C-alpha cells in the first residue's frame, strides 16, 4: 500500500497541475479553503502580529475583528462563486464546440481519388509468325468517390504535372455535385487518350504528380484536399492535406 502524500504537498501538486493544464479543476477548493483559514487567523491575531514586529497599532475590538472576518470570507465566497460560474461557462462552451464539430463531420463530404483499371469485355487474338495468342485490352479511369456524409458541390480539380504542356486546358471540368456515402464520378477516361494515360497512370514508374480539389458542402462551407500519387496505396493516391 502506497504512503499517502501530506495534505499540503498534495495541494501544491494539485495547484501545479491546474496551472499546467491552463484551467481550474475541483482541487482549487482546497486552495481557497487554505487561504480562508490563513486569512481568518491573520485577521484574528493581526494586532498581536503587528505588536510582535514592533508595530504600533490601536486596540482592535472583537466586534471589528468579526466584521473584518465576515468581509474577508464574503470576498472569498464571491471569488469561489465567480470561478464556479466561469468553469461552468467553459464546460458549456466546450460542449457547444464539440456538438458543432460533430455536426460539421456529419455534413462534410470527404473525397477519395482512385485509379480504376479493369479489362474490357471484348477480346481478340494477336497472330505472329508462328504463334497465336489471346489478349485483353484494359480500361483506365480516374474516379472521384465521396465517402463522406455530405454532398460535395462545385468540385474543382487541378492537376500539377511536370509535362503540363501535353495536357489540354482546362483538362478537368468542374463537377456540379457528388452524392454522399459512396457517390462517385468519372473525371478522366483513357479509352482513346493513350498518351495522356501514360502520363496520368499513378502506377507507372516515374509518374509523380499532385491533384488539388476544392469543393463545398450544401451549407457552402469550403474544403480543400490534396492528393499525391502513391503506388503503395490501394487507390494509388494518398491524401496529403484535408
Q: What is the DSSP string of 141-174?
A: EEEEEE-SSS-EEEEEEEEE-TTGGGS-SS-SPP
Question: In terms of domains, do 86 and 158 share one?
Answer: no
Q: Is the per-residue pLDDT at 108 higher than 60?
A: yes
More confident residue, 170 or 93: 93
Mean pLDDT of 112-136: 61
Determine the pLDDT at residue 144: 92
More confident residue, 191 or 122: 191
Domain span at 165: 111-241
Question: In terms of domains, do 168 and 181 share one?
Answer: yes
Task: Report if residue 229 sits inside a domain.
Answer: yes
Beta bridge partners of 214: 156, 224
Kind and range of the H or E run holding 118: strand 111-127
Q: Is the per-residue pLDDT at 21 higher than 70?
A: no
Task: Report if residue 19 sits inside a domain.
Answer: yes
Give the C-alpha separation, 27 to 36, whole Å.
15
Q: Is the per-residue pLDDT at 236 higher than 80?
A: yes
> DSSP letter at 24?
-
Question: In terms of domains, do 53 and 147 share one?
Answer: no
Give CA separation, 235 vs 14, 109, 164, 167, 208, in Å.
50, 18, 23, 22, 14
Distance in Å from the first CA to the final CA of the chain: 50
Question: In terms of domains, do 148 and 45 share one?
Answer: no
Question: In terms of domains, do 98 and 131 share one?
Answer: no
Determine the pLDDT at residue 126: 47
Determine the pLDDT at residue 86: 85
Q: Mind giving me the DSSP string for 36-102?
A: HHHHHHHHHTHHHHHHHTT---PPPPHHHHHHHHHHHHHHHHHHHHHHHHHHHHHHHHHHHHHHHHH
Question: What confidence category does residue 191 fall into, taking pLDDT thresholds of 50, 70 and 90?
Answer: low
Give the C-alpha separation, 31 to 77, whole Å.
13
Q: Is the per-residue pLDDT at 92 higher than 70?
A: yes
Task: Report if residue 129 sits inside a domain.
Answer: yes
Q: Is the per-residue pLDDT at 130 higher than 50?
A: no
Task: Report if residue 86 sits inside a domain.
Answer: yes
Amino acid at each position: 500500500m502506497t504512503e499517502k502524500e501530506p495534505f499540503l504537498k498534495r495541494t501544491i501538486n494539485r495547484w501545479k497541475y491546474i496551472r499546467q493544464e491552463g484551467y481550474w479543476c475541483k482541487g482549487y477548493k482546497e486552495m481557497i479553503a487554505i487561504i480562508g483559514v490563513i486569512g481568518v487567523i491573520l485577521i484574528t491575531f493581526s494586532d498581536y502580529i503587528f505588536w510582535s514586529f514592533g508595530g504600533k497599532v490601536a486596540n482592535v475590538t472583537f466586534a471589528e475583528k468579526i466584521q473584518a472576518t465576515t468581509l474577508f470570507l464574503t470576498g472569498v465566497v464571491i471569488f469561489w462563486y465567480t470561478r464556479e460560474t466561469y468553469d461552468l461557462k467553459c464546460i458549456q462552451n466546450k460542449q457547444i464546440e464539440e456538438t458543432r464539430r460533430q455536426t460539421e463531420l456529419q455534413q462534410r463530404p470527404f473525397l477519395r481519388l482512385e485509379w480504376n483499371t479493369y479489362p474490357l469485355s471484348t477480346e481478340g487474338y494477336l497472330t505472329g509468325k508462328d504463334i497465336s495468342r489471346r489478349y485483353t485490352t484494359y480500361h483506365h479511369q480516374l474516379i472521384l468517390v465521396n465517402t463522406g456524409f455530405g454532398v460535395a458541390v462545385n468540385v474543382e480539380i487541378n492537376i500539377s504535372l511536370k509535362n503540363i504542356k501535353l495536357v489540354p486546358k482546362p483538362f478537368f471540368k468542374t463537377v456540379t455535385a457528388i452524392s454522399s456515402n459512396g457517390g462517385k464520378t468519372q473525371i478522366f477516361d483513357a479509352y482513346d487518350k493513350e498518351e495522356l494515360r501514360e502520363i496520368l497512370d499513378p502506377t507507372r514508374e516515374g509518374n509523380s504528380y499532385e491533384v488539388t480539389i476544392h469543393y463545398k458542402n450544401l451549407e457552402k462551407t469550403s474544403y480543400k484536399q490534396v492528393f499525391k500519387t502513391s503506388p503503395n496505396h490501394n487507390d494509388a493516391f494518398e491524401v496529403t492535406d484535408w
